[in-house]
Homo-oligomer: A and B are copies of this chain.
């Protein structure tokens, strides 16, 4: 492990990772999980920001190690309500990490060709290869979230999908992928504030869709859909984390720490030089 690891370890030791991890078999009630919560960490905002910077630098090195070793694959799934902070996490947590080593796959409304296939068909081509890290900005989980709330397919059909998703993710894990899934948990009031900011900013107003308000009106139905999806698909190998996300500094710290901790556990090393490289003289 590189020389700087003890510092990283002492920071990671300050985070209670189990606090936001959903254990297999656990029932969750999102209405009772405080989106202002900060229980996984004992410090204040200034502490958190300092820790964040160190962990963000470390993530940069860990990505290099991941690429250099070319052995592991890393998939990070981000889900949230509108304005929940998916884009913020992508920009802040991965700031400075080599863009050649991190791909972002954003899943939008499916095209007619995509709809003509099973819902994992458009997802599979985007999973990470060896040495790669991929961020899913929305994902196959939409097929048990918006699809359920808007009744786009019958319940008998979407209900089977929890099994498919567990099997699909287990396949990826068994073939060498580390999977982390984050639900960024904000409340309706926080969303209202962020939507109002979006409307007030001439450079952001274009992002606002009247249709976004439909999802907001269906807030409770979405919460129930998230709860079911998370409970049915959190596993030891591909855990869900419900991250209190009203406060961005807390959200960012817990996300980067969870990712760094998972990558440290891979115990990666820079590979040895190719045989015969010792003694080479560049002329």
Q: Report A's interface with B, CB cutoff 8 A.
A: 64, 68, 87, 90-91, 94-100, 102-104, 106, 135, 137, 192, 195-196, 199, 202-203, 205-210, 213, 216, 270-274, 276-277, 280, 282-283
Contact = CB atoms under 8 A, between A and B. Distances in A.
A100 B274 contact: no
A202 to B, nearest CB: 7
The 3 closest A-B pairs by CB, nearest first: A206-B271, A100-B104, A205-B273
A272 B209 CA distance: 11
Contacts of A216: 282
24 contacts: A64-B203, A68-B203, A87-B100, A90-B98, A90-B100, A95-B96, A99-B99, A99-B104, A100-B106, A103-B103, A103-B104, A195-B282, A196-B282, A199-B273, A199-B282, A203-B270, A205-B272, A205-B277, A206-B273, A208-B274, A208-B280, A209-B274, A210-B276, A210-B280
Given A90-B100, A106-B100, A282-B195, A270 B210 contact: no
B206 A270 contact: yes
Nearest to A273: B205
Contacts of A195: 282
A203 B137 CA distance: 32
A98 B202 CA distance: 19
As for how many copies of this chain the complex holds, the number is 2
Contacts of A210: 274, 276-277, 280
A206 B272 contact: yes
Contacts of A283: 192
A277 B208 contact: yes
A227 to B, nearest CB: 24
A203 B12 CA distance: 24
Given A103-B103, A199-B277, A282 B192 contact: yes
A99 B60 CA distance: 14
A128 to B, nearest CB: 14
A213 B192 CA distance: 60
Given A100-B106, A199-B273, 13 more contacts: A64-B203, A68-B206, A94-B99, A99-B102, A99-B135, A100-B104, A199-B277, A199-B282, A206-B270, A210-B274, A210-B277, A210-B280, A213-B282
A270 B206 CA distance: 7
Contact of A100 (B95, B137, B205): B137
Contact of A202 (B94, B208, B270): B270
Contacts of A99: 90-91, 94, 97, 99, 102, 104, 135
A98 to B, nearest CB: 6
